[in-house]
Each structure stands twice: as C-alpha cells, then as structure tokens.
Amino acid sequence: MSEQTGRHSHVPVLLRRVGELLGPAISTDGAVLVDATLGLAGHAAHLLAAHPGLRLVGLDRDPDALEIAGNRLAAFADRVTLVHTVYDGIADALAGIGLAATGSVQGVLFDLGVSSMQLDAAERGFAYAKDAPLDMRMDPTTGITAAQVLNSYSHGELARVLSTYGEERFAGRIASEVLRRREVEPFTTSARLVEVLYAAIPAATRRTGGHPAKRTFQALRIEVNGELDALAGAVPAALDALAPDGRAVFMSYQSLEDRVVKQEVVARTRSRSPEGLPVELPGQGPEMRALTRGAEKATAAEVEENPRAAPVRLRAVERIAPLDPAHPSRPPQDRSTRDHRRSQ
C-alpha cells in the first residue's frame, strides 16, 4: 500500500527485507544507524518505530527532502540527527555528533538513485516523460544544471558523459546533434532534448530497449550530481564506520552504481592471505561477510506493489573483524575539488 507524505506518494523499496537485514545489528539500545540517502524517510521511519532504542543519523543533499523527512520523523526527534550533505560526507557527519569515523555505528543504509519526490516534481527535470526545465540537481542550491552541461560541454566531453554514465552506444551521434541545435538555440527544457534523441537514435533501436531518452537522462543526472565520484568515496567510508557485528545495506538501481558497491564489498569479504596457504594468516582474514548471495532482486509481488523496485539490486554485509589500521580503505575523493570541477 502506498504511503502518503504530503503531496508525494512514496513506497519504500524492499522495506521488509531491509528491516530483516539491519534488524540484528540495530536492535540494542543506543545503536546508531546512518541512513546515507534519507529521501522521504520511509525506511528510517519504519526502523525507528521498530527499534525504540535506535539513534538515526540521516543524510541528504536535497534540502526539500530533509524538510519533509524532518516533519515525518518529528515523533522521533529526540533520536534523530539530520545532516545536509552528500553521502560521501559520512565521516564529517559522524564527527559533528561526536562519533568516530571508524567503528562507531551499527548500521548503514544506502537507497541510491533518484527519490520519489524528485521524480514526481516535474520542475526538477529528472523525468523525461514531462516537459520541464533541464535542471536535474539533487541539491538545487548548488552546482551546474543539465542545461549547462548540454550548452557548454565540447563534443568529446558530452559524448564521454553519455557513453560512460549512460552506456549509450549512439553517444557520438547525440553529441553532434546537441551541438548543432544549441548553435540555433540553447537547451532549456526536457522536451527539446527528447526531440534531439528521437532524431539522433535510429528508428530500429528506438523500437526496443525502453524509452530512447532513458540512458541520456541517466547520464546527465550522474554528471550533474557527481554521483559515481561521491559513491566511490561513500562506500568505503560507510564500511569503515561499522563497528564489529554492524551491518550495511546497499540498494542500487543501475549497473554503474552496483559495480561501485560490488567492488568494495568483494574486497572487504575476501581474505588477504596468499592463495594456497593451509591456514589463514593472522590479521589477513576478511573483515566482512556477505549477507546476500550476489545482488538480490525484488520479487514479482514486490514489483507489482511498487514498480520502482523493478531494477533494484540489493547487497548487504556484516563486519566480522575490526578495521585493521594497517590496511585502511582508500581515502574518499576530495569533494571540494570535485565540486569545483562541476561548477565550471
């Protein structure tokens, strides 16, 4: 059944499964859960209600989402801290409430991609089915817009974005068409971009594989928000933050996100002892164990209840050994440098 949050309809994806996976780690009094992608707080509200001793640290880059989430979580206000930040700001968010960046939390949740609120708000420009300004910023107070990307990037830069972040095989053709048309009139709305995509992508291809705009809109959104750069820093920071027996759940909605998560999860669940040894070397065993076999998908019943669950890929891990200071994770990318690049 759909939940209503103001004017936004929101059904949290895999709510029951998330509760099952995180529950054993966050059921003790004083446990801390970091919801790194708070959104409309559907998962957070459920977990706070189910675990009366739980403390939540909720992160989101979207100030509108934080306001809505704060209202929704008002009944739990004494156990909730909301932080306006990108999800690779986990360490700073924890420091702000007096917690260490390593070994200090019992649970972490990532529900990646675009939130229901952002998709449903036509003026944000995320949905290609609605004509709207080409914005696509998850934090509308900072950074470049999708229109600025289309109107200022070179052919090579734009083709790279579409190919890398959208896995669009006609990236070069689309980039050429964008550059030709922006000389006549700059891009401002999504409908005009969709027209370009219909013109650039062959008709035979348009008849298969879903809407021809899907890959381009995904690529622009990732570029505008620096999503994969942020995620590459956020996943190791989140796993470092887990205390022994702490658990992390990651829900991805496209292959690029899932690849970033998978690489870090595999590295943390693998032994560092040389292959062929009869015993594990001290301190060289895996620091995490996988709680899922590969990436779990939504069931047919879950997709029927919530169509936005169809592409989800869920991975979960539990910390079985303290973080080894001799083998720290790679440091997160410097966010100020990345944001400066995106602001040009």
32-35 and 55-60 beta bridge pairing: parallel
For helices 171-182 and 190-200, what crossing angle results, to 10°?
Answer: 130
% of residues, the chain, pLDDT over 70: 84
> What pLDDT, on a 0 to 100 scale, did the predictor assign at position 105?
98
% of residues, the chain, pLDDT over 90: 72
> What pLDDT, on a 0 to 100 scale, did the predictor assign at position 180?
97
Residue from 208, 191, 199, 206 nearest 175 by CA = 199
Between CA 298 and CA 317 the distance in angstroms is 18
User: What CATH number has the domain bearing residue 155?
Assistant: 1.10.150.170
pLDDT exceeds cutoff 50 at 71: yes
**Contact by Cβ (8 Å): 192, 161:** no
> What pLDDT, on a 0 to 100 scale, did the predictor assign at position 121?
57
Q: Print the domain residue range for 210.
A: 122-225
User: What CATH number has the domain bearing residue 33?
Assistant: 3.40.50.150
Same domain, 247 and 153: no
**Contact by Cβ (8 Å): 120, 42:** no
Residue where a domain terminates, one of 225, 259, 292 = 225
Same domain, 253 and 219: no
Residue where a domain terminates, one of 195, 225, 255 = 225
Same domain, 134 and 237: no
Return the structure tokens found at 56: 């939540």
Mean pLDDT of 107-119: 78
Between CA 226 and CA 224 the distance in angstroms is 6
**Contact by Cβ (8 Å): 250, 235:** yes
Mean pLDDT of 108-121: 73
What residue type is 52 in one-letter code?
A: P
Return the structure tokens found at 289: 């164990």
pLDDT digits (tens, 9 = 90+) for 9-42: 467 999 999 999 999 999 999 999 999 999 999 9
Sign for the CA dihedral angle at 74, 79, 84, 86 comes to negative
pLDDT exceeds cutoff 60 at 2: no
Between CA 213 and CA 200 the distance in angstroms is 11
State how many domains the chain has. Answer: 2
Annotated binding site for S-adenosyl-L-methionine: 41-43, 60, 87, 111, 118
- The region, left, alpha or beta by phi > 0 then psi within -120 to 50, assigned to residue 39 is left
pLDDT greater at residue 178 or residue 130? 178
Mean pLDDT of 67-96: 96
Same domain, 215 and 291: no
Same domain, 212 and 308: no
Residue environment code for 120-137, b if the CB has 16+ CB neighbours within 10 A, otherwise e:
bbeebbbbbeeebebbbb
pLDDT exceeds cutoff 90 at 308: no
Residue from 21, 100, 59, 7 nearest 230 by CA = 59
> What pLDDT, on a 0 to 100 scale, did the predictor assign at position 235?
98
Between CA 150 and CA 133 the distance in angstroms is 13
Same domain, 140 and 109: no
Element containing residue 314 per DSSP (H, E): strand 313-319
Annotated binding site: 41-43, 60, 87, 111, 118
**Contact by Cβ (8 Å): 38, 58:** yes
Same domain, 106 and 77: yes
Same domain, 270 and 214: no
Could you please report the per-residue DSSP string of 16-66?
HHHHHHHHHHH-STT-EEEETT-TT-HHHHHHHHH-TT-EEEEEES-HHHH
Residue where a domain terminates, one of 209, 225, 241 = 225
Mean pLDDT score across all residues of the chain: 87
Rounded to 5, what percent of the chain is helix, strand, coil? Answer: 45, 15, 40
pLDDT exceeds cutoff 80 at 1: no
8-10 and 32-35 beta bridge pairing: unpaired
Between CA 193 and CA 147 the distance in angstroms is 10
Same domain, 133 and 254: no
Same domain, 102 and 16: yes
pLDDT greater at residue 163 or residue 283? 163
Same domain, 319 and 256: yes
Same domain, 103 and 243: yes
Residues ≥6 apart with Cβ < 8 Å to 118 = 62, 65, 124, 126, 138
Residue from 12, 16, 22 nearest 249 by CA = 22
pLDDT exceeds cutoff 90 at 337: no
Between CA 322 and CA 28 the distance in angstroms is 19
Quickly tell me which residue has 């650039």 as its tokens: 200
